[in-house]
């Protein structure tokens, strides 16, 4: 196991056009922990992750670094090379390729390491998600939503990232699959990976993570250790939308980019 790596995000700003979806977010994720990012829809969680991953860059300067490497203006490819992988929401994979080909694709940043290294990574993914081994030659377009999501996560893992980000990995999936994915994330954490998860289900997020950030309208409203936050009613209030802030002020959402149509088709 290698030494501890920390992804540091400091005062991130990002927006669409003139709308600022992320208005000054600072957070940290280190090796060997699972960090949840929760909040109501439109709070800016997806934009935060996309910005870190190098897609849809913020307009203002932001300060992102991992293990000493500055990533503030890095392209997506550079972010991946620095060891950060992002699994966006919607179990998106290449439907025209088989499971094995999809996983192979994930190893693109590591292609120089040779066939043996790639095969070893693939074996590791199969050991984490045995069902992918079973369907290795099947076209990804014919898998169920849960299997596609597992493929997507596996694909991201093929690049041997040090930090893994996931955007609502369990949304819309059956309980069995959700259990499996959460178990895998915990195993990855135990093996030294740093995990940043956006989760819609507050209780689930608090039970299955070490630390938690609560986002509201583009900012971090609360942060802390998950096991302690479970008992804090304020977290539930913010997400439920009944916090002590005046109702109208509460309702300002910053982004709503969950496009079901693009995901379902």
Partner 1 sequence: MVLFLNALIAGIGIGAVYAFIALGYSVVHRSTGIINIAQGDLMVAGVLVAYFCLVKWHRNMALVPLAILVVVIILSLVEERIAVRPFITGRARSTGWFVSTLGFSFALQNVCVNVYGQHPVVAIPGLFRTASIKLGDTSISTKFLAAFVAVLLTAAVLELFYQRTWLGMAMQGLAEDREIAALRGVNPAQLSQIAFAIAGVVAALAAFVVAPIISSDISVGTFYGLKGFIALAVGGFGSIRGCLVGGFLLGLSEQMFDLYISSEFEIVAGLIIVLLVLTIRPSGLFGARTVRTV
Partner 2 sequence: MTAVGSERRGALRQITLRRYLQFAGITTLTALAYAVPTVFGSNDFRMVSYNQVLALLLVVIGLGIAVGHAGQYIIGISAIFAAGAYSAALVAEHFPTHTGLLLMCAVGAASGGAAGLVMGSPSLRVAGFYLGLVSLFAALVVPAVAEKWDFVGGSLGIPLFTVLDFAPALTGYKLYVICLTTVLVAAVFSWALMHSRVGQQFAALNSSEQLATSMGITVYRTKLLAIFIASVLAGVGGGMYAYTQQLMAPASSSPQLSIYLFVALIVGGASASFGPLVGGTLVLAFNQFFTAWSSYNGLIFGGLLIVFAVFLPDGVVLQLSRLRFWNRTPCHVDSASATEPAASTPTESFRTASAHSAIERRDDSHATLRVLSARRSFGGVRAVDGVDLELPRGSIHGLIGSNGSGKTTLLNLISGFYPLDDGQVMVGDARLDRISPSARARFGIARTFQTPKLIVDATALANVVPMVEMRLRCTAWESVLRLPRGVRTHRQALTEARRALKALGVEHIQDMPAGTLPHGTQRMVELARVLAARPKFVLVDEPAAGLSPRELDLLIAALKRLAAAGTGVLLIEHNVPMVLEIADTVTVMHQGSCLFRGTPNELRSDTQVADAFLGLSDPLDTAS
Q: Which residues of the chain form contacts with partner 1 (CB under 8 A)?
A: 53-55, 75-77, 80-81, 85-86, 88, 92-97, 101, 104-106, 108-109, 111, 155-156, 159
Closer to partner 2 at the Cβ: 155 or 200?
200
Closer to partner 1 at the Cβ: 27 or 164?
164
Q: Are 49 and 167 a contacting pair, CB within 8 Å?
A: yes
Q: Are 186 and 36 a contacting pair, CB within 8 Å?
A: no
Could you say which of 2, 3, 17, 116 contacts partner 2 (CB under 8 A)?
A: 17
Nearest to 235 by CA among 262, 265, 204: 204
DSSP class of 141: G
Task: Tell me if 175 contacts partner 2 by CB under 8 A.
Answer: yes
Could you say which of 4, 41, 77, 111 contacts partner 2 (CB under 8 A)?
A: 41
Q: For residues 145 and 16, give the distance between their C-alpha atoms in angstroms, rounded to a whole number.
A: 29
Closer to partner 1 at the Cβ: 55 or 69?
55
Q: What are phi and psi of 147, to 5 degrees?
A: -65, -35
Task: Tell me if 183 contacts partner 2 by CB under 8 A.
Answer: no
Residues 114-173 that bind partner 2 (CB under 8 A): 141-142, 144-145, 168, 171-172
Could you say which of 203, 224, 225, 234 contacts partner 2 (CB under 8 A)?
A: 203
Task: Tell me if 247 contacts partner 2 by CB under 8 A.
Answer: yes
Q: Are 67 and 114 a contacting pair, CB within 8 Å?
A: no
Q: For residues 48 and 39, give the distance between their C-alpha atoms in angstroms, rounded to a whole number.
A: 12
Closer to partner 1 at the Cβ: 93 or 254?
93
Which stretches within the chain are classed as H helix? 45-53, 76-81, 99-106, 115-128, 130-134, 145-157, 175-190, 202-207, 226-229, 233-240, 247-250, 260-264
Footprint of partner 2 on this chain (CB under 8 A)?
Answer: 16-19, 21, 40-42, 89, 141-142, 144-145, 168, 171-172, 175, 178-179, 199-204, 207, 236, 239-242, 246-261, 263-265
């Amino acid at each position: 196991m290698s030494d501890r790596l920390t992804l540091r995000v400091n005062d991130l700003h990002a927006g669409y056009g003139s709308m600022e979806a992320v208005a000054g977010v600072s957070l940290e994720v280190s090796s060997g922990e699972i960090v949840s990012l929760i909040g109501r829809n439109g709070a800016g969680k997806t934009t935060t992750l996309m910005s870190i991953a190098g897609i849809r860059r913020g307009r203002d300067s932001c300060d992102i670094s991992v293990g000493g490497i500055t990533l503030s203006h890095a392209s997506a490819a550079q972010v991946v090379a620095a060891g950060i992988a992002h699994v966006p929401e919607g179990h998106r994979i290449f439907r025209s390729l088989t499971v094995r080909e999809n996983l192979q694709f994930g190893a693109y940043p590591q292609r120089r390491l040779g066939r043996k290294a790639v095969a070893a990574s693939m074996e590791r993914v199969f050991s984490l998600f045995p069902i992918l081994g079973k369907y290795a030659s099947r076209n990804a377009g014919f898998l169920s939503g849960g299997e596609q999501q597992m493929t997507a996560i596996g694909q991201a893992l093929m690049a041997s990232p040090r930090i893994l980000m996931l955007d609502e990995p369990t949304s819309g999936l059956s309980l069995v699959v959700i259990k499996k994915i959460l178990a895998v994330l915990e195993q990855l954490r135990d093996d030294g990976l740093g995990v940043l998860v956006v989760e819609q289900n507050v209780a689930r997020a608090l039970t299955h993570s070490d630390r938690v950030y609560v986002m509201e309208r583009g900012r971090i409203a609360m942060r802390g250790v998950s096991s302690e936050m479970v008992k804090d009613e304020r977290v539930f209030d913010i997400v439920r939308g009944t916090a002590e802030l005046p109702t109208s002020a509460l309702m300002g959402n910053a982004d709503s980019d969950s496009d079901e149509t693009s995901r379902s088709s």
